[in-house]
Copies of this chain bind each other. A is one copy, B any other.
């Protein structure tokens, strides 16, 4: 990483690993880390240069961060470059991620579990699954469905906490 002090690039790497923990790529986290400590907005080339990334990665990364509302783009006039800057409220980024990433996944999981229950009933009827095995499965999956429903209810509450 050129162009950055040791500690600023260390910060970027820290955020890179953090991003991974959230299922994002390291470079996305690094970009956010870079912008988060930057006094002014940076162009794509500056980002790629500072973090020693290809422009391609920088482009993909910034767009993804934008879709997560973690950064915003602007343009200095008389310059056709895009300039990127971090939104400085990590809580809001987190909140957005919860509603745009976590919530849909939860809904998806819920649907899959429902579908699974149906297919298991079919397997019971066709004899592939013994009655007693089915009972166990049904009961446990039902419990899981209930829990995901509960969690869905709590999610907005947790969001407000985090904010």
Q: Which residues of A contact B (CB under 8 A)?
A: 5-8, 10-11, 14, 18, 20-21, 23, 36-39, 88, 90-91, 105, 109, 112-113, 116, 119-120, 123, 128-129, 132-133, 136-137, 140-141, 143-144, 147, 151, 154, 157-158, 161-162
The residue on B at minimum CB distance from A148 is B90
Chosen A-B contacts, 12 in total, with CB atoms closer than 8 Å, are: A5-B120, A6-B119, A7-B116, A7-B119, A8-B129, A11-B141, A14-B116, A21-B23, A38-B136, A39-B133, A151-B162, A154-B161
Taking the full assembly, how many copies of this chain does it contain?
2
Q: Which residues of B contact A37 (CB under 8 A)?
A: 136-137, 140-141
Q: Which residues of B contact A91 (CB under 8 A)?
A: 147
Q: Is the CB of A88 within 8 A of B143?
A: yes
Main secondary structure, interface of A, reads helix
Q: Which residues of B contact A161 (CB under 8 A)?
A: 154, 157-158
Name A116's contact: one of B11, B105, B109, B119 (CB within 8 Å): B11
Report the Cα distance A147→B160, complex, angstroms. Answer: 14
Q: Is the CB of A120 within 8 A of B7?
A: yes
Report the Cα distance A122→B158, complex, angstroms. Answer: 39
Report the Cα distance A88→B146, complex, angstroms. Answer: 13
Report the Cα distance A147→B18, complex, angstroms. Answer: 15
Report the Cα distance A6→B151, complex, angstroms. Answer: 28
The residue on B at minimum CB distance from A132 is B39
Report the Cα distance A161→B155, complex, angstroms. Answer: 10
